[in-house]
Structures are given as C-alpha cells and as structure tokens.
Amino acid sequence: MPIMNKLKTAIIGATGYTGLDLTHLLSKHPKVKICYLCATKNLGKKITFFDKRIKKKLPKLTSIEKINWSELDLVFLSLPNGEAQKIIKKTFFKYKKLKYIDLSADFRIDNKKDYFKNYKIKHKAENLIKYSLYSISEFNKQNIQKYRIIANPGCYPTSIQIPLVPLLIKNAIKQKNITIDSKSGYSGAGKNFEKKFGHKNLYHSTYAYNVKNHRHVCEIDQEFLKFTKRKIEFSFNPHLLPTFRGILSSIYVHSNKNNSANSLRKILIDFYKRSKFVKVLKLNSPLGSGNVLNTNKCEISICETRIKHKIIIFSAIDNLVKGASGQAIQNMNLLYKFSESLGLK
C-alpha cells in the first residue's frame, strides 16, 4: 500500500510500558505510518534503545512542540491522567480531521465530578466529553465511527466487563453480591511502581491494594449502569503479582433461576460467536494468563463449584495488549473500517 494512503499517526508517551507495546504493534501495522514518537526525556534517542523488539526504522524521540498537527490523522495518547485532556483541548477544534485514542482515564468517566472524586484532577476539557466514546471494542463496532475521541478502557475493567456484561444483559446472574478478585502483573502499575506503593518486595510477593476505593470501580459502575439501567452491587479486590504482564480475574456470581454454569457459558458463546478475540473455553477448564500473553485475546472459563448456583468465571487478558495498546489498535481498526484484527493476534 502506498505510504500516502497510510494513516499518519503520533504516539505521545512512547516510552512507558504501554507506549512501547503500542509502538511495537503499530510499527508492523500495514495501514499506519508513525510520524512522531513523543516523550519528555531522552529526546533524540532511537526508540530501539528502550525496546529491542522494534525492528522498523522509526522517527527519533521528540517533544510534542515539534508536531505538525495538520499532517496527522490520528494521535495515540499514552500519558499520565490529566495530561491528554490538555493536548486534546488545544487541538480539537483547530484540526477538525484529527482523531484521538486516549489510553488514560481522562475521557473514560462521563461525569466530571466522578472524575475529580476518583482521580483528584479537575477536568480541563469537560466540554469535549460529549465528543468521546468509552470503547471496549466488542461493544462498539457499529457506532465508533461517529466519535473523534476514543476513551480506551482500563485493563481491569476490560477483563471484568467482557465476561459480565452479556450475562447481566440477559439477567442470567444475580445483580448483587458479585465478588471480583483480579490479579495483575506489575506493569499495570506503570514504571517506578515501587515508589508509588512504598512496598519493598513487590518483585517477590503478591500485594493486595485499594480494596475499597480502586479508581476503576467508578468506570465499571458507569458501564454496568449503561447496559443494565441498574446499579450492580459488586466488590473489587485487585492484587499485583511478581510477574511482568497479564491479568487473571476471578469473578464469583450466583446464577438466576435455573441457569446452570453451562447455560452461562452458552450465553457468552452466542454473544461472542463473531468475535475475533474472545474465546470461551470448555466448561470447568483451567485458565491462566499465560494463555494470552502478548496477544489481544480474552479467554474465559466458566466453572461450577460445590455450592448450587454459585459459579466462578475466570477471565484472562494481557494488561498491556487487550488491556491497553492492543485494544487501542482494535478501536483504531474499527474507527477507520479496517479489518478488526489487522495488526493484532
């Protein structure tokens, strides 16, 4: 395909864990030309200094001040919360063909007060929230093209909503007393995570954190309400594991009426029968995050327990791919009507 027909893109925040995965995947995408790789440090260095997986010759790291916005079609923003909204606010109305995929939380939360409550940041582009779409790709294939700002979901919410939303829509499980126990590799906490948690042995231990007030709860609450028109009662217990990447969510539910574990499995199979990336395993299958590492896949296992109507749903994703960069590319593919799986595995 001629270069002139490729999407001209910039990746802002290219050297973080997610930014590097995004750069690696986009460098091999047949319909993308990376025009800018932006960072705040190490300007002028090659991206291969940070990630040896990247083989393609790409632009050296530069600052956002060097971007010629008028030549771009799409910007990926892989930045700390509060930063993407500033950039989008400055460019949104000036460059009207420009679209954005934001991997932070800046446009995930519809209500500015909820955003402030969870992130302690005052939203500086609240007038642009109406132009944004929160997009787990499997739920937004038809209407994503209407939006210029795509809010890429959080990693934990992705692993949780993919198995639960179809079951909640069908009223197949009780909407109270859902327990979600999610375990993530430490890359989910970003670089320098030891300072953030103040815990000395994170590379060698399992660490539970933010059990009552994890900021992803607001995001999950919001999306469950959109799909069910009801408040879903759940607890969310996140953990960090001494492994680099991957999420395994264990979700404890009670089935409604005469729904068995197998009937829940059939609901998910039917819902995702055309999905490129969601795979529902055989009943009672063991599942680990190793199945999906470095892929955009979500694998789900429905398991019976000793207690009638109490069922465990296991959901595995790679937090840096399906939970971040891979889903961003899947959203891009849908946004521009490319094959949904292009550039992904």
- Look at residue 123 and give its three-state secondary structure: coil
What angle do the packed helices 17-26 and 326-335 form, to 10 degrees? 50
Scanning the structure block, which residue is given the tokens 């953030």? 196
Tell me which amino acid residue 253 is.
V
d(CA 51, CA 42): 14
Q: How far is CA 159 from CA 37, 59, 162, 246, 293, in A?
A: 29, 33, 6, 10, 13
d(CA 326, CA 136): 11
d(CA 330, CA 327): 5
d(CA 234, CA 217): 9
Q: Where does the chain show beta strands of DSSP type E?
A: 7-12, 32-38, 61-62, 74-77, 99-102, 132-134, 149-151, 178-185, 207-208, 234-241, 247-254, 278-280, 298-304, 310-317
Buried b (16+ CB within 10 A) or exposed e, 261-296: bebbbbbbbebbeebbbbbbbeeeeebebebbbbbb
For the chain, how many residues are written?
A: 345
**Region label for 244, one of left (φ > 0), alpha (ψ between -120 and 50) or beta (otherwise):** alpha
Q: Which residues are catalytic?
A: 155
Contact 77, 104 (CB under 8 A): yes
